[in-house]
Each structure stands twice: as C-alpha cells, then as structure tokens.
Amino acid sequence: MSEQLRLLAVRAAQHGAAECLRQWGQSVEVATKSAAGDVVTAVDRAAEETVRAVLLGARPDDGVLGEELPEHAGAGPVQWVVDPLDGTTNYTRRIPFFGTSVAARSTLDGSWLAGAVCAPALGTTWSAAKGLGAQLDSAGDEVRLPLALMETSVRLVGTGLSYDPERRRRQLRELPDVVTGYTDMRRLGAAAVDLCLVAQGSLDAFVEDDLAVHDWAAGALIAEEAGAQVSRPEGRHTAVSATWG
C-alpha cells in the first residue's frame, strides 16, 4: 500500500508543481497572511485545487488537509497533508527553491506512509514510502537516496526564520548554538526542499521551529527513509529536525 501511495503522492505533487511553474514569472495576485513577509498568491490556491483533484480522483474516501483550502474530511484510512507552494516568497522573487509537497498519513495510528516533494524549477522530485527508502527523480533518472557525494570537510546545516518578529529575534539569538559543529549554514526558504536536501546528504542537518505540519510532512519522511535521524515537532513552536550521524 505504501508504494501505491508514494506513486499517487508523486503524481499529485508533480501536477501541483506544474501549475506553479506554468504561472511563474507572471503577474499574480499576492496577499499577506499572518504577518509581514508571510505571503500567499492565487497560485497557492490553484495548485492546491489541482493536487486535491488528483488525490480525490484516485481515492475519494480519503481526507485532505491543505494549507489554503478548508479541510476535506474523509472516512478512509488515509489523510493527505498538502503544501501546494512551499517557498511562496521565493516564488514571488524568482528564486527557484520552491515546490509542491504531498504526504500521506494513517488515520488509524498517525504514522506517515508516503510523501513526495516536487521542485519544478529545479526539475527534481523527491519521494519516499514507509519502509521502502527514498529516491530522487531528476530528468527521468531515478536514484536512491542518499546520494554518493564527494568527501570533504564541509558540514552544512539548514534553517529558517519565523515571520513573527519576536520569534525571529529569539531564533537569531539561538543561531550560534544551531551552527555549532558545522562549517557553514544555508537558508533556502523552503523547509520541504531543505529536508529533501538532508535526504540527499547535501545538507548534514536541518532544524527549524514555528512550522506547520504541511511544511515538513513529506520532507521529514523522505529524510527519514533516506536514513537521517528525524525529530518531528509536537506543536507549532517546537522544532522539526533531520540530521546525519
């Protein structure tokens, strides 16, 4: 079942990402949500509608929890968690680190079963199924994760900052502790992509708090199935982390 869910997650994520890419660079409606810098576009909603149509077309009894549309309650054994456009700020500034994230979890025990993250401007889809490992699909070439990378002394940690000014100040105060043990950091602006880069081995770690479940749902499973140690948050203001070693 997990592999079937992975394939559906991939298809749904790629359809949503294609909608994002189709409108990238065009003039679209942009609004501010919870705080300055927390923006949403008409594309976010269109992509979520596209993802939902794919998921419910294949599994109409499942539930869907997305970022932009009202929750679709289902009676089936699976709930889908969707971030239609992770990295909306990047999207509005023509920065290619954005994507569509789709994850499936069991409504019976809450376990994460499958996930996919498609970054269309990068031509890359990462995916995983519970117990079956993780993979990367780039230009039709599928490889297992993590990747075989060059041996170096580099150790990279990824993180992000809250839109809330008070939380952001606190995160900046704690930043020296976050980067201890690493040679540099990356702040790419899309948590789902960051977690997939941990799965690749491109980042040695990622840690960020003040994220919603749709931000990390698919990426956390992909990193975990690649072999990274993953800690999922128990609430909005506790951190999700993925690390090697």
Residues of the binding site for Mg(2+): 67, 83, 85-86, 215
Which element (helix H / strand E) includes 99? strand 99-106
Backbone φ, ψ for residue 192 (5° rounding): -60, -45
DSSP type of residue 87: T
How many angstroms from the chain centroid is the CA of residue 113?
A: 15
Which residues line the annotated binding site?
Answer: 67, 83, 85-86, 215
Closest CA to 202 of 158, 161, 245, 137: 158
Which element (helix H / strand E) includes 134? strand 133-138
Rg (CA), the chain: 17
CA distance 118 to 10: 8
Backbone φ, ψ for residue 77 (5° rounding): -80, 0
Cα separation of the two ends of the chain: 30
